[in-house]
Amino acid sequence: MFYAADWLDKILPGDCRDILPTLPEASVDLIVTSPPYADQRQHTYGGVRPDDYVDWFLPIAAELKRVLKPEGSFVLNIKERVVDGERHTYVLELIVALRKQGWLWTEEYIWHKRNSYPGKWPNRFRDAWERCLHFTKQKNFAMYQDAVRVPMGDWSQSRLRNLSDTDKRRDNSRVQSGFGKKIENWVGRELAYPDNVLHMATECANRNHSAAFPIELPSWFIKLFTQPNDIVLDPFIGSGTTAEAAIQLGRHYVGIELDAGYIQVAAERINAVTVQPQLLVVQEESELYDIVGVGELDTPKLG
Ligand SMILES: C[S@@+](CC[C@H](N)C(=O)[O-])C[C@H]1O[C@@H](n2cnc3c(N)ncnc32)[C@H](O)[C@@H]1O
C-alpha cells in the first residue's frame, strides 16, 4: 500500500490496472487522460481490440471512480476509429456502460484540431476532432468557470452599443427550456464564457510520443475543474503532458505509465518545468454573471 508521499507528484511505472488499486479512495480531484486507442497503435504501445475495448476499460473506470473525490471530474479524451469502412461503436458503447457503472455523462467537449493533416478518403474527409467526455460522480461537482473565460471579441462592440428594449429585460427562452438572457448584463464586460468546442492545434514539437495531446488540453480542464494544490491523475500519462500542465498550474499530479521509454521522456519534461505564478489564481464562487444567458450570446444576431 502507498502512503501519500509514495504516490503524489510521481509517475508510477506499470500497468494502471495494477497500480490504481493501490491509490487511496476519494483522493484525487480530477482525472484527465487519453487512453490507448483501440488496436490502432499496437506496435507503438499495446492497443486493445475495438470489440474488447469496453470490457478492457470498465474495471479501470471502476478504480477511477473509487479514487475520485465525490465532487471530482473525469475527462476522457477518445475518438472511435474506423473499422471496415465505418466508425466502430465502442466509444458509444463505453459511454452507456460507464453510465451503468454509476457515472454521470455530464458533458461532451469537442477538441477541434486546428492543424489536422490534409487528407481525403473515398468515403470521408480528414479527422479533425476528438471527444473529451466529461463524467462526474454526482450532479454537484467542482467547476470554476471563470478560470476559462475568453475575450468577448469585436462583435460585442457593435452588438452592445445600441440595445433594444428586449436586450434590457430578461428574455426567457421561447421553447420553455428555462434558459434566458439579458443582453444588457454584458455591457462593459471584457470576458465571456467559452463554448464546449476547444480549438487547439495538435502538438507539433517532438515529444517522442506518437499520441501526445497538446498541453493546452489538460491545462484547460485543470483550470476548469480544480484549484491550486488539488490533485490531478492521468492513468495513461505517456510523455507526461498532464503532469507538466499540473505543475505549471500549481496542482499536484499522479501519473501512471506502462512504457519505460515514455516514463523517461516524462521525467525529463517534469524536471524542466516550472510553476507559472501568474496562473495560480484561486477562483471565487461564480460572481455576478448571468451564466444561463451566455450560450445564446455566443452566436449573436447582429443588427
Ligand atoms: C494515448 S497515449 C497518452 C499520451 C499522453 N496523453 C501524452 O500527452 O503523452 C496512451 C499511453 O498509455 C500507455 N498505456 C497503455 N496501456 C497502459 C496501461 N495498462 N497502464 C498504463 N499505461 C498504459 C501507453 O504506453 C501510452 O503512452
Q: Is 274 helix (H, G, I), strand (E, B) or coil?
A: coil
Q: Which of 162, 192, 222 is the last residue of a domain?
A: 192
59 touches ligand 1 (CB under 6 Å): no
Residues 44 and 128 placed together within one structural domain of the fold? yes
- Centroid of ligand 1 to alpha carbon of 258 (angstroms): 7
The residue ranking higher by pLDDT, 252 or 279, is: 252
Specify if 302 maps to a domain. no
241 touches ligand 1 (CB under 6 Å): yes
Predicted pLDDT of residue 78: 97
Query: In this structure, what are the phi and psi dihedrals at residue 2, rounded to the nearest 5 degrees?
Result: -85, 150
Q: What is the CATH number of the domain that holds 200?
A: 3.40.50.150
Give me the mean pLDDT over the 12-36 stretch. 97
Residues 74 and 137 placed together within one structural domain of the fold? yes
Q: Which three cell numbers stand for residue 46?
A: 499495446
Nearest CA to ligand 1 atom 3: 238
What confidence tens digit (pLDDT) does each residue in 172-220 have?
A: 766 766 666 777 777 777 888 999 999 999 876 556 667 789 999 999 9
Predicted pLDDT of residue 46: 57
What confidence tens digit (pLDDT) does each residue in 87-130 have?
A: 999 999 999 999 999 999 999 999 999 887 777 788 888 889 99
Residues 230 and 214 placed together within one structural domain of the fold? yes
The residue ranking higher by pLDDT, 204 or 71, is: 71
pTM, 2 dp: 0.85
Residues 205 and 99 placed together within one structural domain of the fold? yes
Residues 177 and 218 placed together within one structural domain of the fold? no
The residue ranking higher by pLDDT, 164 or 42, is: 164
Q: Give dist(CA 273, CA 294) in Å, integer.
A: 35
Q: Which of 192, 226, 252 is the last residue of a domain?
A: 192
- Centroid of ligand 1 to alpha carbon of 51 (angstroms): 19
Is residue 161 scored above 80 in pLDDT? Answer: no
34 touches ligand 1 (CB under 6 Å): yes
The residue ranking higher by pLDDT, 299 or 99, is: 99
Indicate the average pLDDT of the chain. 84
146-181 burial, b at 16+ Cβ within 10 Å, e below that, comes to bbbeeebeeebeebbeeeeeebeeebeeeeeeeeeb
Domain span at residue 169? 150-192
Give me the mean pLDDT over the 150-158 stretch. 75
Give me the mean pLDDT over the 215-226 stretch. 98
Pocket test for ligand 1, best of 42, 220, 237 (most atoms within 8 A of CB): 237
Nearest CA to ligand 1 atom 18: 15
Predicted pLDDT of residue 126: 86
Q: Which three cell numbers stand for residue 287?
A: 460572481
Residues 229 and 292 placed together within one structural domain of the fold? yes
Predicted pLDDT of residue 300: 32
Residues 174 and 254 placed together within one structural domain of the fold? no
Element (H, E) at 242: helix 241-248
Specify if 33 maps to a domain. yes
- In terms of Cβ atoms closer than 10 Å to its own Cβ (0-12, 13-18, 19+), residue 56 is middle
Is residue 36 scored above 50 in pLDDT? Answer: yes
Q: Identity (one letter) of the amino acid at 22?
A: T
11 touches ligand 1 (CB under 6 Å): no
Is residue 34 scored above 70 in pLDDT? Answer: yes
What confidence tens digit (pLDDT) does each residue in 266-288 have?
A: 999 999 987 766 556 555 544 33
Q: Give dist(CA 297, CA 284) in Å, integer.
A: 23
Predicted pLDDT of residue 278: 59
